[in-house]
Chains A and B, each alone.
Chain A
Amino acid sequence: MFSNILFSIAKKEFMDNIRNKWVLILSVIFAILTIVFSLFGSIFGTGWQDIQGTVSSMIAIVQIFIPIIAIILGYSAIIGEIERGSMSSLLALPTTRLEVLVGKLFGLGSILAVSILIGFGIAGVIIAVNIPNPDIVGFLIFIGATILLGLVFLSMALFFSTLFKKRSSAIGGAIFLWILFIMIIPMIVQGLLIAEVGIEPLMTGEKVQIPDWYYGAQLVDPGSVYNSLIALTIGSMSTPGNPLQITYPSYYSSGLMTLIFIIWIAIFFVLAYWRFSKKDI
C-alpha cells in the first residue's frame, strides 16, 4: 500500500514536470554544457578532451549549477501546494505526510536524475565517439556523483519548503543555504587555510603540509565532498577554483564520500518530515 501511494505521488510529480518541459530544458542544458566544456574547456589544448579532462573542466560549473536547479525544483514542492490549496485535498486522501514527502523526493529526484542522465549521457556518447579509449565508467561515476549532489540540495530545498509559510521565503532560505554551502563555507575554510600556511606556497604550487582540520572541514561542504568523490574515483584533478594539488588523507574514500552525501540527504529529509508533520495545512 505504501509503495502504491508513493509511486502515485512520485509519478504525478514526474508527469507534472514533464509537462512543464523541465526534463527537456535541463537535458538540453546539460548536454550543451558538457559538449562545450569538452571542446573548449581546456586552455592547454584544442579539440575534444578525454573524459577526465571534460569532467575536470565541468566540476566547478556543475557544483554551482546543479544545486540551483535542485533548489528550483524543490523549494515550492510543499509550500507551493499548500499556497495553491491542493495539499489539503492530497492529505485528505488515505495518505500519510511521510508518503507525500517521500513521493515528492522520489518524483523530483527522478526528474533531476533523468535530466542529468539524458543530458550528460547524450554528451558522453558524442564525446566517446570522438576520442580514443573513453573512460566510460569514470563518466558514469561523474553522472552518479552529480545526481547525488543534486539530491542533497533537493532534500535541502524540500526542508525549506516545509519550514516557511510562503514560497518567496522558502526560495530565499534555500538560496541563502546554497550561498552558505557553495560560497561562504568554502571561502572560510580556504581563508583559514591561507591564514595557517600562508598564500605563497598555495600560489606557487609548493608542497605544503595541509592541516588535518582542513580535511575534516571539507566534509561538511557538499561541493567539496562532490569534488573529493570524483577525484577519488576518476583520478585527482585540479579545478579552476581550487589550485591545490591535494593529497587526501587515508580515511578519505569514495565510500565515505557517498555515505556523507546520503547522510546529508537523510538529515534534511528527516528535518523536512519533522517540520511537515507539525504543519497546519
Chain B
Amino acid sequence: MITKTVECRYCKSDFTVTGNPGEKLSIPCFNCNKKNVVTFSDKGGEFVESVPVSYALEVSGLVKIYKNVKAVDNISFKVRKGEVFGFLGPNGAGKTTTIKSMLDLIHGDAGQITINGLDVRINGKEAKKLVGYLPEKVAFYDNLTALQNLLFYAEMKHASKDECKVLIEEFGLGDAVKKKVGTFSKGMVQRLGVARTLLGNPPIYILDEPTEGLDARGVVLIRNKIKELKQQGATIFVSSHILSEIQAVCDRVGIISKGVLVAQDTVAELSKKLNLKPKLTLELEKVSDAVVDAIKKISGIYDVKTIGCMIHVVCDSNISAKVIVAIVNAGGNIVNLQTQTPSLEEVFLKYTEE
C-alpha cells in the first residue's frame, strides 16, 4: 500500500490517499467532496497523481551555505497559481538568496525548485519563459537608451517594439525614451525595471523589493499594477520590507528569519496562531467608570485602556457588538468606532523577534 498527501484540484486543500501500486482511484476530497482521480504507479511504489500542476512555484528543502553559514536552511513553500505571496524577513534573513535560487542565479546546496512543474536546474530555459523577474538591484546598460534597453530584453522574451513603447509610457518614462539610462534617477531606473519585468506578459512574477527607490506616486502605481495582474490571473511572489504594501496585496505571506521559514499562511491565520487579538477603539462623549466596568465584565475582553474620551479594547473578534451594547446600556454615548485587526507588522515582529 502507498499513502500520500495530494492536493484537491478543486478546493486546493490537502488530503491523504491510500492505494495499491498500479491502481487508479477516484477519491473524494475530504473538504469539498469532489472526486479527484489519483493513479498509483506500479514501479517501486512510486506515486503519480493525475491532478494537474496547480502550483506556480514550489521550493522544497532549499539549502544554501556560504562559508559554513547557512544563509537558507531547508526552506519549503508552495505558491498556488493566481496567488499573491508575500515574502518577508529582516535584512540578511535570506530573502534575496531564496529568490535568486528560484531562478537558478544562485545554486542551492540542496533542494528542488520548480516553476509551473519545471525544475529550474534541468529545464531552466523553459521555466524562465514563464517568469518576469524584478531584481532587488535594478540595472541596465547605461550607454543604451530606455527603448534600446527594453528592446534588447524584448527580443529575448519575444515581445514587440510596440509593447516596449506602451510600457515606457505606462510607467511615466515617455519623455525619457531616447535618453541614455545612465542619466536616469534611481526612481526612473526602478520604473523601467518594472516595465522590463512585465515584457511578454508572463504568467508568473517574482518581484524583489518592487517599490525600492520609488516616490509615493510610484508606490501606488506598482501596488495597482500588482492588483491588476492578480485580477488577470497572474501569480505574484513579492518580497518587500514595507509590510503595509504586502498586507494590501497579498493572499498569503511567508516569513523568513535567519535563513529559516518560520511561518507561512494568511495574515489572519498567522494572527490566530500567535493569538493576536483585534483592537476596538471607541470615542465616547464622556467616559465613566460604569462604562469601563461594563466592558470589563464581558467575557472575551483582554485589556481595556482609557485615554481621555477614548477607550481601547483588546478582545476576541466576535464580541464587538456585545461591547457596543454594554457601553450603551451603561449610559455611554459612542461618537466614533474603529476596529483594528492584528496587523502584518505585529505578526512579523512576533515571528522575527530575537
Contact = CB atoms under 8 A, between A and B. Distances in A.
Given A15-B144, A19-B144, A20-B143, A85 B135 contact: yes
A18 to B, nearest CB: 9
Given A12-B152, A92-B128, A95-B156, A85 B143 contact: no
B309 interface: no
Given A89-B133, A92-B103, A281-B100, A15 B139 contact: no
A242 interface: no
Interface residues of A, number: 22
A89 B125 contact: no
B137 A85 contact: yes
A54 to B, nearest CB: 35
A84 interface: yes
B52 to A, nearest CB: 23
Nearest to A1: B125
B135 A88 contact: yes
B140 interface: yes
Nearest to B97: A280
A94 B143 contact: no
Contacts of A91: 103-105
B153 interface: yes
Contact of B156 (A15, A16, A94): A94
Contact of B141 (A5, A16, A88, A94): A16
B95 interface: no
A82 B126 CA distance: 23
A4 interface: yes
B131 A92 contact: yes
A207 interface: no
Interface string B108-141: 0000000000000000111011010101011111
A19 B179 CA distance: 13
Contacts of A4: 155
B125 A280 contact: no
Nearest to A280: B106
B156 A8 contact: yes
Contacts of B140: 86
Interface in A11-26: 12, 15-16, 19-20
A86 B143 CA distance: 13
Interface in B331-352: none
List 6 tightest A-B contacts by C-beta distance, closest first.
A85-B139, A85-B137, A92-B133, A281-B105, A86-B139, A19-B143
18 contacts: A5-B156, A8-B156, A12-B152, A16-B143, A19-B143, A20-B143, A86-B139, A89-B133, A89-B153, A93-B156, A94-B125, A94-B128, A94-B156, A96-B125, A278-B107, A280-B100, A280-B107, A281-B105
